[in-house]
Amino acid sequence: MSFTSIVKNEVSKLVSDKVENISELSAILRNSSNINDNIKITTENASVARHIFSLLKETYGIIAKITVRRGYNYNKKYIYILEINHKIKFIIESLNLDRDIPNEYLISDDKTTRAYLKGLFLACGSINDPKKSRYHLEFFVNSETYAKYISNLLNQFSLKSKYLKRDNKYMIYIKEAEKIGDFLRIINAINALFYYEDIRIYRDHKNMTNRLNNCEQANVDKAISSAMDQLKDIELIESISGLELLSEKEQIVAIYRQKYKESTLQELSEIISLETGINITKSGIYHRLKKIKDLANKIRNKKSD
């Protein structure tokens, strides 16, 4: 079962009051129904179909006719069709199905707005399983005006949604993991939220560990590369006149660098301090190696001239 189905199964079992039911039904029918002489609502989720059936019965006293058939797509999922043959005009008007943008009373407060977004997700929403792929939540709607309206509605909750045209429809989407978790909280999908957050925290921790390991490896590679350059500088000076061109302190550093080729500056300072009794810091090592490098560069420049 997909993560989208898990979320829809959970959300479709939630109990709401009549005002919320109307807001939710408005979003569901606006995005999953076909209106002619009757109203036909189509869904691939059995739990959602039962939920819509209950909403229609409780809100309008209507017993919708349910038809189940095999889909024509590659996995041949069952498709559930709910058919409404009574109170068509009343339902269309009360749920604002004849308008691009619903009336304010359908989203008059925080509770009804959340109910509307819940219905929207049940009708046309999908969310990637955080364990299997990138973070992504999307809704497909029919018009740009409505897409902009939904995006603004989502952004009232600071979800950072955007929309774009996709074929002959419009996709509203959210990509930030934290914001997707917030959406699950908004529609009260608590069990799905716990699963989602557990996976998100695990993935974030794993990614951070990988970044730290990569950073540590990069530092090691950088230290080895620097050590190799320092050895070349020392070898060049040594080929000219031994190490006589260096001061006594610089000679000590040069000798120990040749002896401990892959040691970091910190390790080199500790080794010299331990073996010679001369206290020298990492900074002291760096400055002496810099003087050695400057001398080696002068020799190179002189040779090129």
In a domain, 199, yes or no: no
pLDDT averaged over consecutive 10-residue blocks of the chain (305 residues)?
93 92 95 92 94 94 90 73 92 91 91 96 93 87 95 95 93 93 95 89 72 72 82 86 83 87 85 86 90 88 77
What is the model's pLDDT at position 243? Answer: 82
Domain boundary among 148, 173, 188: 188
Looking at the fold, whether 236 and 289 belong to one and the same domain comes out as yes
297 Cβ contact list (under 8 Å, min separation 6): none
Give the model confidence (pLDDT) of 166-190 as tens digits: 989 999 999 998 999 999 999 999 9
pLDDT of residue 74: 59
Indicate whether 132 belongs to any domain: yes
pLDDT tens column, 55-109:
999 999 999 999 998 876 656 678 999 999 989 999 999 999 988 899 998 999 9
168 domain-assigned:
yes
245 with 291, same domain: the answer is yes
Whether 226 and 288 map to the same domain: the answer is yes
Identify whether residues 115 and 163 lie together within a single domain.
yes
Question: Based on the domain organization, do 44 and 151 belong to the same domain?
Answer: yes
Number of residues that this document lists for the chain: 305
Q: Give the span between the Cα atoms of 23 and 84, in whole angstroms.
A: 18
Q: How far is CA 210 from CA 46, 198, 216, in A?
A: 41, 18, 10
What is the three-class DSSP state of 190? helix
pTM of the entire predicted model: 0.69
CB 181 within 8 A of CB 196: yes
How many domains does the chain contain in total? 2
Residues 33 and 176 in one domain: yes
Full residue range of the structural domain in which residue 298 is found: 212-304
Q: Which region holds residue 61: left if phi is over 0, alpha if psi is between -120 and 50, else beta? A: left
244 in the same domain as 179: no
The CATH number that applies at residue 139 is 3.10.28.10
- Residue at which a domain ends, from 173, 188, 203: 188
Residue 12 falls inside a structural domain: yes
Same domain, 115 and 52: yes
pLDDT value, residue 1:
82
In a domain, 300, yes or no: yes
Q: What is the predicted pLDDT for the residue at 245?
A: 82
Instruction: Quickly tell me which residue has 């497909």 as its tokens.
Output: 140
Residues 147 and 14 placed together within one structural domain of the fold: yes
Alpha helices (H) along the chain? 3-11, 18-32, 46-60, 88-94, 110-124, 144-155, 177-186, 190-241, 248-259, 265-276, 282-304
Q: Are 174 and 137 in contact (CB under 8 A)?
A: yes
What is the distance between the alpha carbons of residues 28 and 154, in angstroms, rounded to a whole number?
A: 16
From the CB of residue 80, how many other CB atoms can be counted at a distance below 10 Å? 21
Please report the pLDDT score of residue 164 as a whole number. 94
Looking at the structure, tell me whether residues 159 and 245 fall in a common domain: no
Beta bridge partners of residue 41, listed in sequence order: 33, 82
Residues 177 and 66 in one domain: yes
Q: Give a yes or no: residue 31 inside a domain.
A: yes
In 3D, which of 199, 197, 16 has the Cα closest to residue 117? 16
In this prediction, residue 211 carries a pLDDT of: 74
Question: In this structure, are 180 and 242 located in the same domain?
Answer: no
- For residue 91, give the 3-state DSSP assignment: helix
Instruction: Supply angle C-alpha 235, 236, 240, rounded to 5.
Output: 110
Residue 1 lies in a domain: no
Supply the pLDDT for residue 21: 94
- Tell me which DSSP letter residue 108 carries: S
Domain stop point among 128, 155, 188: 188
Report yes or no: 84 and 15 within 8 Å, Cβ to Cβ. no
Does 196 reside within a domain? no
Give strand pairing partners of 34: 40
CA–CA gap between residue 18 and residue 288 (Å, rounded): 80
Q: What is the dihedral of CA 91, 94, 95, 98, to 10 degrees?
A: 80
For residue 305, the model assigns a pLDDT of 65
